């Protein structure tokens, strides 16, 4: 039987993951199929169980099920543990491994595709939701000078920062110094940043978080996790001389990391990013 994988979400019809994984499979000669499956809002666990019972080997998980996938996993990678969210499940003989490849996807897009080294950089991360949680540990592991988490609801940013600080030097697998990690509301922002990552849902609504005029340092990069259209954040950044990038590369890179976990082979991402851009 052909190995079968799927992405679970609600909604899911818009997902580009089936196209991405089909390209990876074609490129690497892997015999597998990958589908987008709509799970009922109150039926994620049952949907995954049914897929597994029909021979599924693993799954990706997207909004709004990443926390439920975390709870479902019987074993977690360090980065999934830290994030409190799982976007990749690998079914095992007795149970399932939960991983979170979102942060690794972002870091690889930044460092490899965009050739933007994170070492010693001042990073501003906007948002304190699931996307922000997933990327903090991989960002810290790149040894930036600092990471400031800013959020509309400042208490959520502070809570997130306290969570990651409590992990510092904790379990094996956490190799970072959280001392440069701080958080607060937009009114507390001061100074310029080398990298500003938009991990809020503001772009979905065509909104721009209230950033100070002088938020970008010279040669700064503005990265919006949203993809598929220009956003007020990227327009704001461009008008202030910053270099800009959308989240399409992150999407493809997080998929590549999941594919590698499942199949033991790393696909090439550049041609797939290009294919999606042309589409
Ligand atoms: P959540 O709903 O978990 O979090 C939303 C965050 O956005 C919260 O911090 C919220 O602040 C903030 N926010 C919402 N509206 C505004 C606004 N108008 N101004 C300022 N802040 C706002 O969403 P996720 O974290 O799951 O997703 C965030 C974005 O990241 C989405 O656009 C998603 O598509 C994208 N994403 C992209 C990925 C990729 O591979 N490229 C992967 C994962 C996510 P508050 O706490 O105050 O409500």
Residues 6+ positions from 49 with CB-CB distance below 8 Å? none
Q: What pLDDT is recorded for position 149?
A: 98
pTM of the predicted model as reported, rounded to 2 decimal places: 0.95
Residue of 199, 208, 258 to mutate, ligand 1, most atoms within 8 A of C-beta = 199
Mean pLDDT, the chain, whole residue set:
95
Of the pLDDT bands very low, low, confident and very high (cuts 50, 70, 90), residue 172 is low
Going from the Cα of 202 to the center of ligand 1, the distance in angstroms, rounded, reads: 7
In this prediction, residue 215 carries a pLDDT of 98
Taking CA atoms only, the protein residue closest to ligand 1 atom 6 is 200
pLDDT at 166: 86
Residues with CB under 6 A from ligand 1: 63, 102, 127-132, 151-153, 156, 199-205, 207, 209, 225-227, 247, 250-251, 254
Q: Which atom of ligand 1 is nearest to the CA of 152?
A: 47
pLDDT of residue 248: 98
Place 1 in a pLDDT band, splitting at 50, 70 and 90: confident
Residue 115: burial class (beta carbons within 10 Å; 0-12, 13-18, 19+): exposed
Tell whether the model's pLDDT for residue 178 goes beyond 80. Answer: no
Does 125 score more than 90 pLDDT? yes
pLDDT, residue 167, reads 82
Binning pLDDT at 50, 70 and 90, where does residue 179 land?
confident
Q: What residue owns the CA closest to ligand 1's atom 15?
A: 202
Over 60: is that where the pLDDT of 228 sits? yes
- Residue whose Cα lies nearest atom 33 of ligand 1: it is 226
Phi-psi region of 160 (alpha: psi -120 to 50; beta: other; left: phi over 0): alpha
55 C-alpha to center of ligand 1: Å?
34
Q: Mean pLDDT, to the nearest integer, of 76-94?
A: 95
Q: Please identify every residue annotated as catalytic.
A: 66
Quote the ligand 1 centre to 29 CA distance (angstroms): 36
pLDDT for residue 173 is more than 60? no
């Amino acid at each position: 039987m052909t190995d079968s994988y799927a992405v679970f979400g609600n909604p899911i019809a818009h997902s580009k993951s089936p196209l991405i994984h089909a390209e990876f499979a074609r490129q690497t000669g892997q015999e597998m199929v990958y589908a987008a499956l709509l799970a009922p809002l109150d039926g994620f666990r049952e949907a995954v169980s049914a897929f597994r019972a029909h021979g599924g080997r693993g799954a990706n998980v997207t909004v709004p099920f990443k926390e439920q996938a975390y709870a479902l996993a019987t074993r977690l990678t360090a980065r999934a543990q830290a994030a409190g969210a799982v976007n990749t499940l690998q079914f095992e003989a007795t149970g399932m491994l939960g991983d979170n490849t979102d942060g690794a996807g972002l870091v690889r897009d930044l460092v490899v595709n965009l050739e933007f080294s994170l070492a010693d950089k001042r990073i501003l991360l906007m948002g304190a939701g699931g996307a922000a949680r997933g990327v903090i540990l991989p960002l810290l592991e790149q040894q930036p000078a600092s990471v400031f988490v800013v959020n509309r609801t400042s208490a959520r940013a502070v809570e997130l920062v306290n969570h990651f600080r409590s992990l510092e030097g904790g379990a094996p697998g956490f190799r970072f110094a959280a001392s440069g990690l701080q958080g607060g509301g937009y009114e507390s922002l001061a100074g310029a940043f080398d990298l500003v990552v938009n991990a809020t849902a503001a772009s979905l609504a065509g909104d721009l978080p209230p950033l100070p005029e002088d938020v970008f340092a010279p040669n700064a990069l503005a990265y919006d996790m949203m993809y598929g259209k220009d956003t007020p954040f990227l327009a704001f950044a461009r008008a202030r001389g910053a270099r800009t990038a959308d989240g399409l590369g992150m999407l493809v890179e997080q998929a590549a990391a999941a594919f590698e976990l499942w199949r033991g082979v790393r696909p090439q991402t550049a041609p797939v990013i290009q294919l999606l851009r042309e589409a």
